[in-house]
Amino acid sequence: MALNQNKPAQSTLDDIARKLNVTKVTVSKALRDHPDISLETKEKVKTVARELGYTPNFIARSLSLRRSGTIGVVVPKIAHHFFSTAVETIYDSALQNSYEVILMLSQENAQREALHIQTLLSMRVDGLLISLSKETKDLSLLEAVKKSGLPTVLFDRVVEKPEFSTVTTDDEEGAFSIIEHAIHCGYRKIAHLAGYSHTSIGRLRRSGFEKAMMKHDIPMHPEWIIEGGFAEEDGYHAFMNIYHSKNLPEIIFAVTYPVALGIFSAAREKKIAIPEDLDVICIGGSNYNKYICPTITCIDQPVQEIGKQAISILLDNVMNPGQNRIQKIKIPGRLFLGDTCRKKSA
Amino acid sequence: MALNQNKPAQSTLDDIARKLNVTKVTVSKALRDHPDISLETKEKVKTVARELGYTPNFIARSLSLRRSGTIGVVVPKIAHHFFSTAVETIYDSALQNSYEVILMLSQENAQREALHIQTLLSMRVDGLLISLSKETKDLSLLEAVKKSGLPTVLFDRVVEKPEFSTVTTDDEEGAFSIIEHAIHCGYRKIAHLAGYSHTSIGRLRRSGFEKAMMKHDIPMHPEWIIEGGFAEEDGYHAFMNIYHSKNLPEIIFAVTYPVALGIFSAAREKKIAIPEDLDVICIGGSNYNKYICPTITCIDQPVQEIGKQAISILLDNVMNPGQNRIQKIKIPGRLFLGDTCRKKSA
DNA sequence: GTGAAAGCGCTAACAC
DNA sequence: GTGTTAGCGCTTTCAC
């Protein structure tokens, strides 16, 4: 590929320096308001800089300073209420602290996730914020990152290792309480479209489900616990499986909001009315939940809070090198009462 | 801030070179499979590189090559169906072409948008993809960017200047056809919650609306055309304004999907039933539209197609420097028939 | 107050 | 095949 041809020759410190018969050092200092430089020179330098449309070269600056002023973020998806909201919060907080964000999407693919983390490392980001893909099992890269000393915070989809700071909803408690709510409403035949148990949210939500069931002595059907992904299509397919088994539960607890919607789709196709014939609850909401029919009773995740805490813990470690404080934050979800799961206890 | 303290000392070409008693040049070539280097040396180099956990320094590489292999993207928001979907597509296409994406969010703020564009310039991105904020009026920065020769493509929220490539929905035609549809359904009292007329989508959608109304000789009420933003809250407030004027239209044409939902909220609060008492249509949908009550009849935007075309045109210019081909792509939307706007013509 | 020298980690051109 | 030299644009240290 031809070099330096599509790229405009942006002006440099030297360009400014030459115009003023000084050196680039003087210019560099002047532009950064270094006390060394006289007011007069500063004025002149800044004027010429403006005339030339000078923009400092971030790349050169980063190389010289050995810090980039950027935070790397890896999430499974962005076209998704939880992540787009969290990411927006992360961007805002980072900007307030004068950090830039480099966002990468794993698309729920472990290999791509690893690639992106590598790229972020090579970009010499000052910190790393990760929410793991649904496929991620091999944690060696993550551990290498951690060992290298790069400040890292995991959020939402995490690993339960003592060496990582994590910020999550209290998934187990959330699942427990919504199931208990369903039981209080009189439901007994409860199915769970679970996430993969190698993911933190899958495991914890399922565990909360099981604990609530056991506490209230409700029998659990193995065929009513189906592991899968976190997307709409996963809910759709899992429901179809249950449907074809001819043994429908009264209510399905979906591991995520999109999975719940997938159930809606499938049920509609099979002419099963929600919540009359079959009820649905889940963990996580969406900003459109109030417009959905029926509105889903769910555990609302404090999405912005999660994003805010994650970036705040990260920046704390980035800006105070050497401290490496590890924090495990669990933020409780809140039960949102929608149109589903309204039956009275008998 | 203390330097080089929070940052792990990542290994460099020199580290590998020293271990093998060669120079970094040899190592650099070996790692890139340069034909100069013998197979044996390559093997050795790669082994040591692996042992040391070597990651090439993207920053240094970019500086040396004078190209970063990145595309800068600026959008108003990310927690929004249109943008999160478009951005996801952009990321995928970029990755397929071995480009990284640097995403920035203007949060609908012109000043922040300018800042981000500056930052992207300083990062020496190889190309720029922009969807303008609702506030953007001053185009001087944009023109400077263009003049500098950096390949730039605008999408969705664009400016109609011959020097920019643009990719949009055919907004005017979309508005025209959905209004015509409403008219065919028998609606006459039609209001428009319009976007700001200094934005392309605001102006064009309004123009489509007006053309359809004029073609069918339907009178337009000035108080039924309200300019505003593109978000839910804008729809909410605009509806309240109309409501308080005590002069309700039969149907409201909302400039965006979120604005339509804002109307839903406000109408619900005022006990006005949709679509019975008041009907709503809009431009743009959401992946959750089929679950909304009532499902909104709208012009579905080919979001992924817009993203795909935008990045494709950009990369074409990035990878073929000097050609600077300017393209104006308008992709037609598709009328989606939902539960709203179903009245039969009288 | 200003500048010369050195270096960040990498790549390209050209010797050897 | 491998190494030498130079340079990308910037900042820091230390003379002057």
Range(s) for CATH 1.10.260.40 in chain A?
13-56
Q: Is the pLDDT of residue A102 over 80?
A: yes
For CATH 3.40.50.2300, the residue range(s) in chain A are 67-168+303-332, 171-301
Question: Model confidence at A10, in pLDDT bands (50, 70, 90)?
Answer: confident
Average pLDDT of A5-23? Answer: 81
- Which positions on strand D lie below 7 Å from a protein C-beta? 1-5, 7-13
Q: Which residues contact B262 (CB under 8 A, 6 or more apart)?
A: B231, B232, B233, B234, B235, B236, B237, B238, B239, B254
> Which nucleotides of strand C come closer than 7 angstroms to any CB of the protein?
1-5, 7-14
Query: Tens of pLDDT along A65-95?
Result: 999 999 999 999 999 999 999 999 999 999 9
Please name the residue whose C-alpha is nearest to the C1' of nucleotide D11. Answer: A64
In the stretch 286-315 of chain B, residues with CB closer than 8 A to chain A read 286-288, 290-293
As a dihedral over the C-alpha atoms of residue B157, residue B160, residue B161, residue B164, rounded to 10 degrees, the angle is: 40
Please give the pLDDT value at position B249.
96
Q: Distance in angstroms, CA of A63 to C1' of C6?
A: 14
- Strand C neighbors by CB, 7 A: A 21-23, 25-26, 29, 36-38, 40-41, 60, 63-64, 66; B 10, 12-14, 24-25, 28, 31-32, 36, 56-57, 60-61, 63-65
pLDDT (0 to 100) of residue A2:
33
Measured distance CA(A63)–CA(A124) in Å, rounded: 9
Q: Do A293 and B292 touch (CB under 8 A)?
A: yes
> Got the DSSP string for B278-319?
SEEEEE---TTGGGBSSPPEEEE--HHHHHHHHHHHHHHHHH
pLDDT of amino acid A8: 58
**Shortest distance, CA B107 to any CA of chain A (angstroms):** 9
pLDDT one-digit tens code per residue, A291-315: 999 999 999 999 999 999 999 999 9
Chain B: residue nearest A118 by CA? Answer: B55
B-contacting residues in A 216-245 (Cβ below 8 Å)? 232
- Cβ neighbors of A139 (< 8 A, separation 6 or more) are A159, A161
- The CATH architecture that domain B67-168+303-332 belongs to is 3-Layer(aba) Sandwich (3.40)
CA distance B132 to A216: 55
Facing A84 at nearest CB: one of B79, B119, B124: B79
Q: Could you say which of 2.30.31.70, 3.40.440.10, 3.40.50.2300, 2.40.30.170 is the CATH number of the domain covering B171-301?
A: 3.40.50.2300
> What's the confidence (pLDDT) of residue B4?
37
Q: pLDDT (tens digit, 0 to 9) for every residue of chain B, 346 residues total?
A: 333 344 556 899 999 999 999 999 999 999 999 888 888 889 999 999 999 989 999 999 999 999 999 999 999 999 999 999 999 999 999 999 999 999 999 999 999 999 999 999 999 999 999 999 999 999 999 999 988 889 999 999 999 899 999 999 999 999 999 999 999 999 999 999 999 999 999 999 999 999 999 999 999 999 999 999 999 999 999 999 999 998 999 999 999 999 999 999 999 999 999 999 999 999 999 999 999 999 999 999 999 999 999 999 999 999 988 788 999 999 999 999 999 999 764 4
Instruction: Write down the pLDDT at residue B344.
Output: 61
On chain A, the residues whose CB falls within 8 A of the CB of B61 are 122
Residue B74 has φ and ψ, to the nearest 5°, of -125, 120
Residue B173: per-residue pLDDT = 98
pLDDT exceeds cutoff 60 at A6: no
Q: What is the mean pLDDT of residues A228-248?
A: 95
Cross-chain Cβ contact A124/B264 below 8 Å: no
Residue of B nearest to A291 (CA): B292
Residue A105 pLDDT greater than 90, yes or no: yes
Superfamily of domain B13-56, CATH level 4: lambda repressor-like DNA-binding domains (1.10.260.40)
Q: Region A179-207: what's the mean pLDDT?
A: 96
Q: Is the pLDDT confidence value at A5 over 50?
A: no
pLDDT of residue A344: 61
Query: For chain A, what is the radius of gyration of the CA atoms?
Result: 26
DSSP B222: G
B23 CA from D5 C1′ (Å): 13
Closest chain B C-alpha to A58 CA, distance in angstroms: 5
Residue B22: CB atoms within 10 A of its CB come to: 16
Tell me what pLDDT residue A343 has. Answer: 76
- Could you tell me if A203 lies within 8 Å of chain B, comparing CB atoms? no
As a whole-number percent, the residues of chain A with pLDDT over 70 amount to 97
